[in-house]
Copies of this chain bind each other. A is one copy, B any other.
Amino acid sequence: MARPSKPKLNPEVIAEAALALVDKHGEFTLPQLATSLSVSASSLYNHVQGKDEIVELMRGRAMAVIDLPESQPESWQQTVRLIATAYWSSYSKHPRLIPLLTSHTVRDRTTLRVYDALAEAFSQAGFEATRRLQAITIIDSFVLGSALDAAAPQQVWEPDDSSSPQFTEALDAGLPSAQRAQSTFLLGLDVILEGLRSVPRA
């Protein structure tokens, strides 16, 4: 039974299975992936170039669910808020994927669409090209950093005896992590949007 009449694999199926492994274990290997697809590891190479391409496909799957705002709502702040939240939300559904994504150039169309939408919003708000790129980068850095925060092990920080009371008190006041990550992200996004209002745009 070397070649089935109908192929057992395709890039989407591979990406989806890899995503399931990462969600469960935080990483994946080709042998694991092959086993979960009831196939041998070398079969994967008939559909993808290698492990790196699988990671890029996973990025695409994670981003595919993003709903970008169609018409422009009230203000550019509201538009940026919707985009950034959708973006953060997709990442946060697969928190353990994020560390795998940070070393590759973004070529995935689904992901680039998000930046297109941000660029248009800032452009409409009057941000000239250089400022526009800065604004996009600031939002992107914060979204990525916040999603990483959600990706981090339950305990992001483990204070020791010499930690300051101001820090340990703050840590103790934290909510359970999923909830906390979300509300902190939303607060930070508002903080940035508020701050961006007073930045010169040219």
Contact = CB atoms under 8 A, between A and B. Distances in A.
B191 A195 contact: yes
A69 interface: no
Interface string A137-161: 1101111111011011101111110
Number of copies of this protein chain within its complex: 2
Contacts of A48: none
A116 interface: yes
A106 B160 CA distance: 11
A48 to B, nearest CB: 19
Nearest to A183: B134
Category for how many chain A residues contact B: 35 or more
Contacts of A143: 145
A34 interface: no
Contact of A187 (B152, B194, B199): B199
A24 B159 CA distance: 32
A193 interface: yes
